[in-house]
């Protein structure tokens, strides 16, 4: 599951705006999106990832994704970077 990928990743970028920026820089290996996040928040990152051919994985919970990133709040989007 993708939560484990996030936990094992050496470098991640948390947040939609930062994720979109990293995608445009070409450093994202995989994008993880919380399914319970609002589509209007996550769609810029998802659209950019699809345009660039970056794999997108979905997880069920923002809260669990935030916990996997070792932060106290939920995370809508997380990029695993090279």
- What is the three-state SS of the chain? CHHHHHHHCCCEEECHHHHHHHHHHCCEEEEEEECCCCHHHHHHHHHHHHHHCCCEEEECCHHHHHHHCCCCCCCCEEEEEC
What is the domain extent for residue 67? Answer: 2-81
The pTM for the full model equals 0.93
Question: What's the rounded mean pLDDT across residues 58-80?
Answer: 96
Q: How many domains does the chain have?
A: 1
The whole-number pLDDT of residue 82 equals 87
The whole-chain average pLDDT of the chain stands at 95
Q: Are 5 and 67 in contact (CB under 8 A)?
A: no
Q: CA 63, CA 28: separation in Å to the nearest integer?
A: 22
pLDDT tens-digit series, residues 21-58: 999 999 999 999 999 999 999 999 999 999 999 999 99
CATH number at 10 reads: 3.30.1330.30
Q: Are 11 and 81 in contact (CB under 8 A)?
A: yes
The whole-number pLDDT of residue 1 equals 60
């Amino acid at each position: 599951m993708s939560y484990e990928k996030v936990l094992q990743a050496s470098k991640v970028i948390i947040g939609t705006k930062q994720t979109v920026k990293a995608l445009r820089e070409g450093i994202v290996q995989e994008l993880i999106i919380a399914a319970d996040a609002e589509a209007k928040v996550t769609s810029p990152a998802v659209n950019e990832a699809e345009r660039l051919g970056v794999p997108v994985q979905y997880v069920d919970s923002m809260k669990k994704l935030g916990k996997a990133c070792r932060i106290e709040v939920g995370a809508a989007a997380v990029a695993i970077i090279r």
